[in-house]
Amino acid sequence: MITASIPDFREAARRRLPRFLFEYIDGGSYAEETLRRNVSDLAGLALRQRVLRDVSALDLSTELFGQKLALPVALAPIGLAGLNARRGECQAVRAADKAGVPFTLSTVGACTIGEVAAAASKPFWFQLYMIRDRAFMKDLLAKAVEAGCSTLVFTVDMPVPGSRYRDYHTGLAGTGGLKGAAWRFAQAAVKPDWAWDVGINGRPHTLGNVAPVLQGKTGIEDFFAWMRNNFDPSINWRDLDFIRSEWKGPLVIKGILDPEDAKEAAQLGADGLVVSNHGGRQLDGVLSSARALPPIVDAVGDRMTVLADGGIRSGLDIVRMLALGAKGVLLGRAWAWALGAGGEAGVTKMLKLIEAEMRVAMALTGTTKISEINRSCLAET
């Protein structure tokens, strides 16, 4: 099918992926209010059109955490993304490297840090969750250092997992054992392209970095059970000391929605933060990222690099997020859909598409470089 927009990639992914995988990516928690708000609050921001300002030479490059980027964009950590296409995270990192933007590998990706490092041609980012077993965390961090990961994204908005109803309706959650496996198998069987590409040729279907501690259990329900039992709800600000002692590079706290928490992160020496509600997958009903962002930028924007994610469905949305004060954005579902739709080529095409869309938005808001995008690019409504 024709993929001329991010929603087109979503539709292409819907057609290609087994239902349990598509709904896992697409869905949010509970009634999905925050997921909807992420999209609608951002899209609802009116850009301020300016004309006759010589926009013949646009520079979309920027620098984040000492790394020169072609676009103010990184691929967000997406758990299990490697199942969207054969050895998916390896395909995505190659697309990101070619486009000159960082890829972030999730703690719970399908490919290991080492496998992604072998596919990558540039340093990538690594995302870490707080896990009860500190020795396991230490080991992961050591592997990230060894792989040359440039930035650590420490996700703090999952002390407990939110419930995603769609996963119960597809057999990804709640139905264990043979029954769940048979249900998912039936969904895969009607998607032959995916079944051949990933189901048969994308093995092993282990859970990458987590596989060693799962002790041979490879079922998807084993993975969710591990997440429920091993994510550490006792996580608190003091734990940053532990992370700091194991990680000397740039540290970015992901999952901040409140200016008071942002100040705490700044005080404790984090280099950056991501204003994020986990793509509307954790506490439903919280603020959209677009609404949470401006007060956080006002509180800490002069002390640390503020990034944002959630609801970005076009290059225009990226310009909107930058206009609200973000120094860069993370793309979540956009790249997961593109990977599901067309593997590495899909992600490459999606990144080219958003670049082209950003160029139009910049030209018509009269901005020629990323640093010129600010709140004056938004119109009063």
Is residue 79 part of the contact set for ligand FMN (CB under 6 A)? yes
Alpha-carbon separation of residue 120 from 66, 93, 110, 255, 363 (angstroms): 19, 6, 15, 26, 33
Is residue 108 part of the contact set for ligand FMN (CB under 6 A)? yes
Q: Which of 311, 325, 343, 346 binds ligand FMN (CB under 6 A)?
A: 311
Is residue 155 part of the contact set for ligand FMN (CB under 6 A)? yes
Q: How many CB atoms lie within 10 A of CB 133?
A: 11
CB-based burial label for 239 (10 Å; 0-12, 13-18, 19+)? middle
Q: Read out DSSP for 202-271?
A: S---S-GGGGGGGTT---HHHHHHHHHHHB-TT--TTHHHHHHHH--S-EEEEEE-SHHHHHHHHHTT-S
By C-beta, is 106 or 364 nearer to ligand FMN?
106
Active-site annotation holds for 278: yes
By C-beta, is 126 or 364 nearer to ligand FMN?
126
Stretch that binds ligand FMN, among 63-71, 184-192, 298-306, 329-337 (CB under 6 A): 329-337
Q: Which of 29, 34, 62, 127 binds ligand FMN (CB under 6 A)?
A: 127
Could you say which of 278, 313, 320, 327 is catalytic?
278
Strands 125-128 and 151-155: parallel
How many Å apart are CA 344 and CA 197, to the nearest integer? 13
The site map against ligand FMN for 179-208 (x = CB under 6 A) is: ------------------------------
How many Å apart are CA 41 and CA 267, to the nearest integer? 30
Alpha-carbon separation of residue 338 from 4, 81, 169 (angstroms): 11, 11, 24
Is residue 220 part of the contact set for ligand FMN (CB under 6 A)? no
By C-beta, is 290 or 364 nearer to ligand FMN?
290
Is residue 85 part of the contact set for ligand FMN (CB under 6 A)? no
* Residues designated as active site: 278
Interface contacts to ligand FMN, rule CB under 6 A: 24-25, 38, 76-79, 106, 108, 127, 155, 254, 276, 278-279, 281, 309-312, 330-334, 336
